[in-house]
Amino acid sequence: MSNNSLGAIPASDSESDGVYEQTASEFESEIELETNENEHENNNAESVALEDLCLNGAASEVPSLEQNDENDVSDVSEEDDSDAHSETSFQDITDQLIAEISAGEYPCLICTEDITPKSKIWNCPTCYRVYDIDCISDWAGRGLKAPIPPGEANKNKRPNWKCPSCNGAFEKQPKTYTCWCGKVQDPFVNELVPHSCGQTCGQSIDCVHGCSSACHPGPHVECSAMGPVMSCACGRSRRQWPCVLTPYKGWSCEVVCGEIMPCGEHTCSRQCHTGLCSVCVETTPAKCFCGKTEKNITCHMDEEMQNQNGRYSCEDVCDTLFDCGIHKCEEICHPFVSHECPLIPSRQTHCYCGQTKNEDLGIERTKCTDAVPTCSLTCSKTLSSCDHKCPQKCHSGDCPPCKETVKMHCSCGRQTFSVPCGTSETPKCTHKCAALLSCRKHYCMDECCEWEAVAIQREKQRKKTGAQIPVEEPKHHCEKNCNRLLKCGIHRCPDRCHSGACKPCMQATSWDDVNCPCGRTTTYAPIRCGTALEVCAWPCERDPPCGHRRIQHTCHSDSEPCPPCPVLMNKPCQCGKSTVKGVRCFQTQVTCSQTCGELLACGVHKCSKHCHVPGECEECTHGCGKTLSCGHVCKAPCHAPFPCDESELCKEKVEVTCECGNIVEERECGGSKSTKRHEEELPCSADCYNKQRLKNMAGALDIAVTRSGERVIDYAAIMFEYPEEIIDFYRQEPSFCIEMEQKIAALVNDESKKVLRFPPMHTAQRAFLHQLAEVYGFTSISQDPEPYRSVSIMQNFPYAAKPPITIRDCVMRRNSSV
């Protein structure tokens, strides 16, 4: 069917005006001819509609083509706002370019210099950005010389350069300065529209007309002319629209086609359409080839299978008598052929296998009912199911099924089996498929999978290229449900098991609008799971329960508490002993930091916890501490008010000596409530008397002896002297000096203690500590101002050492020498 929907569209932009005049005149002559012939009854209505269209500038809705050839044309009234907006935005870009270039305030993105009406420019046809011609030419030249990336070298990609603004690709290097429309090279300076030649733009804007504006920068405005008169797809109707609404691809008048179909009996029932009419789908009664059955078939099937004795096969046995009148046709219902009996003597001249003539077997057949002889040879006919030969002796009827065995690969191709020839089922091995399914989580694990080789090859390709190759074989599409917990934390993924992350939860948590607590902000239904509700910017209207003034904060949900009240108050502490000032209103636990001191449940010890709620005293974890009958302290946990358990003997170690103290032994106390501790003295031995005699002699001679009675002369102790300041201060405060000396001496062997700090003291005492620390090899410093100034001594292990004698011994030695 002919379709003159587009008329004569110009071949090039330069010839568009002349071609359009010729096209319009042709359409006018066609309209006159159509009016004279009076082919349609609605010409008057169309002319009235055309007048309304020309006067009001609006077109009625364009009838749509068939579903596979639709128009994008819509009603003018629906596009008025969008067209006006686009025209306004286009005009804004043009006006802005003209104003900025005229004022010399338009910068070139490459050199950052301002472009003026006297500059030589080039503008990008995509983003309309303007550049200096020298800058953009140099930019393009360097872009064309840049090497093509390795990944694009095999794509036959030609060298190109990119616009600095929009990144649009161009293959030609701009070298000449032209006006905006490109008609004039090196135009004169135009003060009204810089770089404009003043001629009509005329550039193509996707219609039969060109841009009607004067040479201008920026985008072209939409065509405002009327389009040509357009015929519908069937050619019965003609209409005209504004150019921007003209359906240049064709339109449908929605009248039934009515053309005679190829069958010659029916007409086309489709609405006005392009191209040829489709096949006839009307139904018509028809008989099968053998004439046993009858049914309705589509008309186009009747044309394809037309035959003088039927239209289709009923798939039943023909059962038509041959010309002999005795035998019948055993073939499936088929188109008409001459039914000659295949058993007549003139046709059946050989035995059944066809290798021996009837005459050679000594049999003469005179009619079709005579038996066909069989020879002694092997049948050797090629079986219908395979290429093997029939191994039976010459026989009548069909050959039996093939009983040969053949080698056949299993489905996965890993093993070979011997199977009967002609078997329809492929043998299977027990190898389990190790291919990953489409989800890339589960494995196929089917026995003898025919698609395993494809999956293995795809996995190798994926590892080699790193590309995600989709699974094409249905066998390896995972059919399990994903059922993973979605990000909402409530619902699970309903899709089939898949790779990658699950889709966002599409469940709707609410089908009703949800208002914020103050009612001023609404989140409209349906609300998808995981969607954050609209944040209300209005202030919260809840009053604090304490009665103080509101704290300024935005509206929030009921599950979120208001900010705590920061007002300062006087509140009683938890133990009730005092009132704490300056406590914030929201604080409920106020402490005075005093020790509780309440008697514990044992009735002996006191609570050492700091200020706490009454009734929450600690459990007693102290030791008993009571004195046992033997005089030692009870080391059991506190068991008040019950008495100490003295049923067992005390196992504390006590020293038992002889009268002179030479013999010392450690023994268990052994005391209890019923027995006394071991207090007896050990008897002195002969050694005791001997040592006592030596001691007396050494004392008389001022000679030191050991406990065993050996003579010892400590030259270091004899030669060592303390500084005079230490000796003098010791004589003033001996008790203080002895106490400090013992503490410093204990620090020598105590590696765990790094610093020994003394309490604040006066200057003379601090000076004594500094001098004594120096004698021991320690470093000492003074800290804090008066009257809190104190001394700290730092550990110096292993370089610190005790003096050979104490200060007391040194003073006694001096006194004895005087």
Question: According to the 3-state scheme, what is the secondary structure of 258-326?
Answer: CCECCCCCCECCCECCCCCCCCCCCEEEEEECCCCCEEEEEHHHHHHCCECCECECCCCECCCECCCCC
pLDDT tier at 339 (50, 70, 90 boundaries)?
confident
Supply the pLDDT for residue 319.
Answer: 84
pLDDT tier at 90 (50, 70, 90 boundaries)?
low
Please list the residues that pair with 514 across neighbouring strands: 523
Cβ atoms 705, 713 nearer than 8 A: no
The mean pLDDT of 506-516, rounded to a whole number, is: 82
Above 90 in pLDDT, residue 140?
yes
* Token digits of residue 214: 């004067």
Question: Is the pTM above the cut of 0.85?
Answer: no
Supply the pLDDT for residue 12.
Answer: 34
User: Looking at residue 713, what DSSP letter applies?
Assistant: -
CA-CA distance, 208 to 203, in Å (whole number)?
11
* Token digits of residue 226: 């009327």
The mean pLDDT of 748-766, rounded to a whole number, is: 88
Give, rounded to a whole angstrom, the gap between the first and last alpha carbons of the chain. Answer: 150
pLDDT tier at 817 (50, 70, 90 boundaries)?
low
The beta-strand segments (E) located in 198-282 are 230-231, 238-239
Q: Is 59 exposed, middle or buried (0-12, 13-18, 19+ CB in 10 A)?
A: buried
The mean pLDDT of 628-640, rounded to a whole number, is: 85
| Crossing angle of helices 724-732 and 763-776, rounded to 10° | 130
pLDDT tier at 308 (50, 70, 90 boundaries)?
low
Determine which helix (DSSP H) or strand (DSSP E) holds 743, and give its type and residue range: helix 734-748
Determine which helix (DSSP H) or strand (DSSP E) holds 528, and give its type and residue range: strand 527-528
Report cis status (omega within 30 of 0) of the bond before 643. no
DSSP string covering 464-518, please? Answer: HH---PPP--GGGS--SB--PBPTTSS-B--SBS-SSPPPPP--EEESS-EE-TT
pLDDT in tens, 167-221: 889 999 999 999 999 999 999 998 899 999 999 998 888 788 888 889 999 998 8
Q: Is 36 exposed, middle or buried (0-12, 13-18, 19+ CB in 10 A)?
A: exposed
Cβ atoms 668, 653 nearer than 8 A: yes
CA-CA distance, 485 to 192, in Å (whole number)?
67
pLDDT in tens, 539-575: 999 999 998 998 899 999 888 899 999 999 999 998 8
Place of tokens 């008025």: 80
Supply the pLDDT for residue 443.
Answer: 92
pLDDT winner (highest mean) among 106-115, 471-480, 699-708? 106-115
Supply the pLDDT for residue 465.
Answer: 80
Supply the pLDDT for residue 704.
Answer: 53
Supply the pLDDT for residue 719.
Answer: 65
Of 428 and 655, more confident? 428
Alpha carbons within 13 A on the beta-carbon side of 692: 12
Q: Which residues contact 305 (CB under 8 A, 6 or more apart)?
A: 311, 312
CA 307 to chain centre: 65
607 backbone dihedrals φ, ψ, rounded to 5°: -70, 130
Long-range contacts of 719-722 (CB under 8 A, 24+ apart): 720/803, 720/804, 720/805, 720/810, 721/810, 722/775, 722/803, 722/807, 722/810
* Token digits of residue 553: 């904060």
Supply the pLDDT for residue 643.
Answer: 86
Q: Which residues contact 791 (CB under 8 A, 6 or more apart)?
A: 757, 758, 761, 766, 769, 770, 780, 781, 782, 783
Share of the chain above pLDDT 90, in %: 22
* Token digits of residue 580: 């704490």
Supply the pLDDT for residue 488.
Answer: 85
What Rg value do the Cα atoms of the chain yield, rounded? 59
Helix, strand and coil in the chain, % to nearest 5? 20, 15, 60
CA-CA distance, 250 to 2, in Å (whole number)?
12
Cβ atoms 122, 174 nearer than 8 A: yes
Above 50 in pLDDT, residue 229?
yes
Supply the pLDDT for residue 64.
Answer: 39
Nearest to 505 by CA among 519, 520, 495, 518: 495
* Token digits of residue 1: 């069917």
The mean pLDDT of 88-96, rounded to a whole number, is: 75
Supply the pLDDT for residue 277.
Answer: 85
pLDDT in tens, 774-809: 999 899 999 888 888 999 999 887 778 888 888 888
pLDDT in tens, 5-21: 333 333 333 333 333 33
| CB atoms inside a 10 Å sphere around CB 16 | 19
3-state secondary structure of 170: strand
Give whole-number Cα distances, 277 to 103, 242, 305, 570, in Å. Answer: 64, 31, 21, 97
Above 60 in pLDDT, residue 449?
yes
Supply the pLDDT for residue 179.
Answer: 95
3-state secondary structure of 173: coil
Cβ atoms 741, 807 nearer than 8 A: yes
CA-CA distance, 132 to 17, in Å (whole number)?
33
Of 467 and 62, more confident? 467
Above 80 in pLDDT, residue 49?
no
Supply the pLDDT for residue 69.
Answer: 39
Place of tokens 């000032």: 581
Question: Domains along the chain?
Answer: 13-76+228-245 (no CATH), 566-622 (no CATH), 715-817 (3.30.1370.50)
Supply the pLDDT for residue 429.
Answer: 92
| CB atoms inside a 10 Å sphere around CB 599 | 13
pLDDT in tens, 361-408: 888 888 888 888 888 888 988 887 788 888 889 988 888 888 888 888
* Token digits of residue 749: 């062997």
Supply the pLDDT for residue 70.
Answer: 36
* Token digits of residue 662: 């030479």
